[in-house]
Structure 1
């Protein structure tokens, strides 16, 4: 409840805009809801685009109809089991908004055995007839600001849909049945919305490629591709074809087709609800299987890109297009190969009915070598439209920079952390007359520290960059605990029970490495770990060599051994936490002996 109050207080001002720009039209105050409805209804419409391969799209539409007919002919009903129903209910996310009918997850979870049996019987009939009632397809769409660009522009918002709780359960059951097939088909370059992994592994591939290029003194080029409203413009017929090709069961294909046929939504804004409008295309962001469907939809692109043999390689390991859901990054040491891969991605987008935006898709030449290849102005392009060549850009929340990504990311993180800290002042997170020290430190580590340290376990800053984060971290603690500016460092850590920033980053980096050791041996990150730890010397820039040095610092056995004999998640966490805390406890205690005022303290 306490954290819910904090969340409500922090979010009070975020929805207050008095003007909304939708294309060339401006909506004010009470009319803003109409503007949202216009914007999202436009996105949901299937509008012919002369830039798409419309002949191909028409063929796919006809093919999708044939696929549905085949599935209906071969269809065999697979009844819903008690285990599937229980798992679907337990997987529902709690503390979420109510749906169109005023029902939320808690109503189902606490509804008892009788309700579960009734719902199982009801859903089983839907599965038997391959039909989902239109009334279960009405979603409530909430505009959510992307935290970039003009806050008054509709294009800088994404629509998150709250689907009816009943249809969520149907989607959950389909996901339980089909997720193994989806994961089996998923390209190793796709790291988004995947269980037991993190999107940061996508960034790790890019970072390791940069470090490898630095070792080999080769230039590095990164193209960050931006698909316009990628989730919102998925062509349903293309999706059905993709499901069939992936080996999804006939029953699930029919149900997914029914789920998106005649689907509708309405926009909710400041407790007002718009008129209902039809969803003709796209997968709903917020749906239980939407992310999985999108990954299948875009999967052939990654297969094609990696199948060319072009682009980024670390040894014999291909990593040309690390991807997190719809965020595709193409990497290469060769500018010509980069353009070839961009062309492939552009052609794929034409066939699949979405637009790559040339002005928002950017190229970043990374300074990993003194060697340079002469490149003509406007060399990189999407459909002959020049792509901007920039010094820095954001990718999965991390600042990719031509010269020093760690510095730029650290600076941006400190800005965000400072804003987050200010937003929490209303809850009592300040010095005198504020919350008690224990609660204040807990809030700091719950809401601010994740923002301050985000992505730094990949970049592993050192020297002046680490010092600046270290000073910022200490300053925050001193302000919250009302300590004097000249308070000795050991006293700051003793009183707050905190670790220095270096220790926090090492803990996060080793946690990520533990995730890699437990991954399947076919994953790119596991193969990279094995290769780099076997072949690279201690002089290498490799991230994995940095991890090796961190392990040695904390007297952890050779990290290479954990690849072949991985510890469980809790065992690994216990090991690294104990080692890091022991090291820094001893170090802080020794440093405290240098201060006469701290000699009586034992930590």
Structure 2
């Protein structure tokens, strides 16, 4: 699934999760086995690899080049300026080589074909979705234990034939079922594969009980810890413009903490609250504001939208990439199958990515694009879709902000000072005049803290000037 054009590890997880949800909607049990390959890239047999390459019909100069690359290889170990004797290498692809991943895919491609044609894996309508593979991360999906054991045996026999190993202790089984029944042990040769309630697949946490709280807490911890690490390294509001700080932190913290958020679905209100608190905490820290500062003012002063909207943007952009993917790829076919099931109301309940995306599109009035996709197969190109999504989401959040400003008395002055989701002028002016750092922070602190209900609120900025505070802040 990975190391190919249009594809990455997130698509392997998409195929797996949508398959599980497909069976969940039908109240069916399903088993997922994640097989761990021992030192996958280091155990590729050179003779076996050349046989695979030859079977693909590769010949001529390309064959000579590949044959020469993996003939009579020798290596040594160097430590403390002491070099060992050279020894022969008969296994493993070159570390760091751009070609190594492709060669590994060639090496295990026949295994995927055998699993797909075995008839033991899961199916979605007319699609065979029983073995989503991401390089050395092999996932097996089957609705029956006998089918799953057969697929595991196929993998074991293939590994014996082609001289590599799977680790039974590091492999894991997930059982998605509402029924209370006795489950049989699944074995890799003679070793029992452990059954787990929660595992990581291509870096994304999967829970057999569909409990996503652990995943959400992990995301919050990651965002906070990475943010603190970056700030300790010098990306601090006292040294850099908060706009610059926010861009660095969003790029590093949120991309890591929200990894896989494209496939998060059915987040509870409690989980959204946990994420939003973390988001606001980072926003205050970036601007150097006190922890108890009113948060709904802080985010708009920096031009940030709620973290729920950030997640929604990620989901919609991922949906756009799926729609623009060539039809020969499995993730595109899985998406279209799930859309058809949803619109034809084939099940009473709908779960998973497609159900979530449709609800998000209804929220932002984008459903017409799905209807056009189903009826005409047309969908905007990725660049155009990105512009449509961001404009619609920010327009929605602007309307929410204006409603909030008009309905809350605490915003009586604030709405005259700053009433849009964009960085405050104090921060933008600071880009041109870094020496005004103290003055800019003072203005932002006043914007975030002042409320008209407080005594002498008009006089907090200057007790001698006759202008209102709102006028003074607006003319900064």
| TM superposition score category, shorter chain reference | 0.7 to 0.9
In 1, the alpha carbon distance for the partners of 2:282 and 2:87 equals: 48
1:356 aligns to 2:166 (yes or no)? yes
Per-residue Cα deviation, 1:334-378 (whole angstroms, up to 9, x for no partner): 122111111111111111111111100111112xx42244224xx
Q: 1:485 to 1:426 in 2, by over 3 A?
A: closer
Partner residue, 1:209: 19
1:218 aligns to 2:35 (yes or no)? no
In 2, the alpha carbon distance for the partners of 1:448 and 1:300 equals: 39
Q: 1:598 to 1:266 in 2, by over 3 A?
A: farther
Q: CA deviation at 1:397?
A: 0.6
1:499 aligns to 2:305 (yes or no)? yes
Q: 1:539 to 1:381 in 2, by over 3 A?
A: closer
Q: 1:355 to 1:477 in 2, by over 3 A?
A: same
Alignment of 1:69-468 (within 5 A): 191-265=1-75, 275=84, 277-366=87-176, 369-376=177-184, 379-404=185-210, 406-430=212-236, 433-463=238-268, 464-468=270-274
Q: CA deviation at 1:422?
A: 2.6
In 2, the alpha carbon distance for the partners of 1:455 and 1:273 equals: 44
1:577 aligns to 2:383 (yes or no)? no
Contact 2:265 2:352 in 1 (8 A): no
Q: CA deviation at 1:446?
A: 1.4
RMSD of equivalent CA atoms: 2.1
Contact 2:220 2:274 in 1 (8 A): no
Q: CA deviation at 1:461?
A: 4.8
In 2, the alpha carbon distance for the partners of 1:274 and 1:591 equals: 70
SS of structure 2 residue aligned to 1:364: strand
Q: CA deviation at 1:480?
A: 2.0
Q: CA deviation at 1:278?
A: 4.1
Q: 1:317 to 1:483 in 2, by over 3 A?
A: same
Q: CA deviation at 1:215?
A: 0.8
Q: 1:568 to 1:266 in 2, by over 3 A?
A: farther
In 2, the alpha carbon distance for the partners of 1:581 and 1:268 equals: 56
Q: TM-score, normalised by structure 1?
A: 0.64
Contact 1:407 1:461 in 2 (8 A): no
Q: CA deviation at 1:484?
A: 3.0
In 2, the alpha carbon distance for the partners of 1:562 and 1:322 equals: 25
Q: 1:316 to 1:371 in 2, by over 3 A?
A: farther
Please point out which of 335, 352, 361 is paired with 1:551.
Answer: 361
Per-residue Cα deviation, 1:240-281 (whole angstroms, up to 9, x for no partner): 111121222332122111012233456678x96855654321
1:596 aligns to 2:439 (yes or no)? no
Please point out which of 533, 536, 556 is paired with 2:339.
Answer: 533
Per-residue Cα deviation, 1:514-544 (whole angstroms, up to 9, x for no partner): 1111112122221122222122249411421
**Bigger radius of gyration, 1 or 2?**
2
Partner residue, 2:467: none
Per-residue Cα deviation, 1:495-521 (whole angstroms, up to 9, x for no partner): 221121111111111111111111121
In 1, the alpha carbon distance for the partners of 2:393 and 2:75 equals: 50
Contact 2:230 2:249 in 1 (8 A): no
Q: 1:260 to 1:477 in 2, by over 3 A?
A: same
Alignment of 1:505-516 (within 5 A): 505-516=311-322
Q: 1:553 to 1:272 in 2, by over 3 A?
A: farther
Aligned pairs, number = 407
Contact 2:322 2:331 in 1 (8 A): yes
1:478 aligns to 2:284 (yes or no)? yes
SS of structure 2 residue aligned to 1:424: helix
1:586 aligns to 2:403 (yes or no)? no
Q: 1:338 to 1:560 in 2, by over 3 A?
A: farther
SS of structure 1 residue aligned to 2:32: strand
Contact 1:478 1:484 in 2 (8 A): yes
Q: 1:597 to 1:272 in 2, by over 3 A?
A: farther
Per-residue Cα deviation, 1:385-425 (whole angstroms, up to 9, x for no partner): 11111121211111122223532222222223333223213
Partner residue, 1:561: 372
Q: Could you list the runs of 5+ residues in structure 2 that have no partner in the other structure?
A: 421-476
SS of structure 2 residue aligned to 1:329: strand
Q: CA deviation at 1:224?
A: 0.6
Contact 2:76 2:83 in 1 (8 A): yes
In 2, the alpha carbon distance for the partners of 1:435 and 1:245 equals: 58
Q: 1:228 to 1:598 in 2, by over 3 A?
A: same
Contact 1:285 1:291 in 2 (8 A): no
Contact 1:207 1:459 in 2 (8 A): no
